[in-house]
Chain A
Amino acid sequence: KQEVTQIPAALSVPEGENLVLNCSFTDSAIYNLQWFRQDPGKGLTSLLLIQSSQREQTSGRLNASLDKSSGRSTLYIAASQPGDSATYLCAPTGGSTLGRLYFGRGTQLTVWP
Chain B
Amino acid sequence: GAVVSQHPSWVICKSGTSVKIECRSLDFQATTMFWYRQFPKQSLMLMATSNEGSKATYEQGVEKDKFLINHASLTLSTLTVTSAHPEDSSFYICSARGTSGGANNEQFFGPGTRLTVL
Binding site for B on A (CB under 8 A): 31-32, 34, 36, 41-46, 49, 51, 89, 93-94, 96-101, 103-106
Excluding A32-B104, A98-B32, A104-B43, 17 further A-B contacts by CB distance (< 8 Å) are A31-B103, A31-B104, A41-B114, A43-B93, A43-B110, A45-B109, A46-B1, A93-B103, A97-B103, A98-B57, A98-B103, A99-B103, A100-B34, A100-B49, A101-B46, A101-B95, A103-B44
Q: Which residues of B contact A36 (CB under 8 A)?
A: 109
Q: Considering the chains assembled together, what is the distance between the CA atoms of A74 and B36 in angstroms?
A: 24
Tally of contacts, chain A with chain B, CB under 8 A: 64
**CB-CB under 8 A for A99 and B109, given A46-B1, A93-B103:** no
Q: Which of B66-118 contact A (CB under 8 A)?
A: 91, 93, 95, 97, 102-112, 114
**Which 7 A-B residue pairs are closest in the complex by CB-CB distance?**
A99-B103, A44-B109, A43-B111, A43-B112, A103-B43, A43-B109, A49-B106
20 pairs, CB–CB < 8 Å, chain A vs chain B: A31-B103, A31-B104, A41-B91, A42-B111, A43-B6, A43-B93, A43-B110, A44-B44, A44-B93, A44-B95, A46-B106, A46-B109, A93-B104, A94-B103, A99-B105, A100-B46, A103-B45, A104-B43, A105-B42, A105-B43
